[in-house]
A = this chain, B = another copy of it.
Amino acid sequence: MQRLFSEDGSVEAVNERMVRSVNRRLAEIMACLVGHLHAFAKETQLTQGEWETAIDFLTRTGQMCSGERQEFILLSDTLGFSMLVDAINNRRPAGATESTVFGPFHVAGAPIRKMGDTINLDGKGESCLYEGRVLDLDGNPVAGAHVDVWSDNAEGFYDVQQPGIQPRWNNRGIFVTGQDGAYRFVGIKPVSYPIPNDGPVGQMLGQLGRHACRPAHMHFLVTAHSYHRLVTHTFVGDDPYLDSDTVFGVKETLVAPFERVEGGPTLWRSQFDFVLVDRQQPPVHPCANAASR
């Protein structure tokens, strides 16, 4: 006879039912989840009405999702869960550039542009020269690195949010480093913008007294043969949302200099080096931080 359900023994009643040999990892994950979900209900003394509200919220969140909108990722992002999973899976040795959330607006297959070219195709916004180098942990240049960049336009929208309004591939491009590891391109000084907030997640943020904004940032996906891929942003340091990014993406080391240029071809200049980690590098122990929980 298996254990029947009781309030005190609720976790064990559920978890004893799982047959671990079918999918051992799923059983491990679900047993941990059940433990935390039940503890959550007990600690909050969740009412029947609150449970009904939660069921309705999750249902509406799922039904908001479409090819162009992923409301569950927004939920994960705004609860800091996406950043946490990123952190767990991208622990890097000191000196390496830190990662941050990928975001929903990357598009694979952006055009490879000539070093120094502009990515800004709609002519809007304040121009900015981005330059720096891709390096290894010893400071050596990494040749042949693909620096894939994307940002919003001057009105706070990515091209894919405004098909037919913005030119295709506006504020996107890939630059391939030479022997000196250097990259250089012209874009705009990006602007802060709200994440899509006309759905359940936007309502949740409102009820929590939180704004929906992300501070201005340029996205970088840097890949090179035999190095771990780096997904990160650089942030504009004077942004009013820098310490309240609604998806918690900001790290101090990713705040880049954005300097006003007098009389140059661009209004701004931002210099930032990216330090990649060799795949041969011994991994940072995955439980290093978990142990101190």
Contact = CB atoms under 8 A, between A and B. Distances in A.
Contacts of A292: 8
A39 B42 contact: no
A59 B292 CA distance: 33
Residue from A44, A48, A70, A289 whose CB has the most chain B CB atoms within 10 Å: A44
Contact of A88 (B41, B82, B88, B91): B41
Contacts of A21: 209
Interface string A193-204: 000000000001
Interface in A15-72: 17-23, 25-30, 32-34, 36-48, 50-51, 55, 58-63, 65, 70, 72
A250 interface: yes
A91 B34 CA distance: 22
A252 B5 CA distance: 9
B10 A83 contact: yes
B243 A4 contact: yes
Nearest to A291: B42
A204 to B, nearest CB: 8
Contact of A34 (B10, B73, B80, B251): B80
Given A32-B44, A287-B45, A87 B10 contact: yes
Nearest to A48: B89
Interface string A1-14: 11011111011011
B55 A70 contact: yes
A248 B5 contact: yes
A44 B6 CA distance: 26
A13 to B, nearest CB: 6
Contacts of A286: 45
17 contacts: A4-B252, A5-B80, A5-B83, A13-B248, A22-B208, A22-B209, A29-B50, A30-B79, A37-B79, A37-B81, A39-B293, A41-B81, A41-B84, A48-B85, A48-B89, A55-B70, A62-B62
Interface of A: 1-2, 4-8, 10-11, 13-14, 17-23, 25-30, 32-34, 36-48, 50-51, 55, 58-63, 65, 70, 72-73, 76, 79-89, 91, 204, 206-210, 243-244, 248-252, 286-287, 289-290, 292-293
User: A-B pairs with the 10 shortest C-beta distances?
Assistant: A62-B62, A19-B209, A36-B36, A14-B80, A7-B87, A22-B209, A5-B248, A2-B243, A51-B85, A18-B208
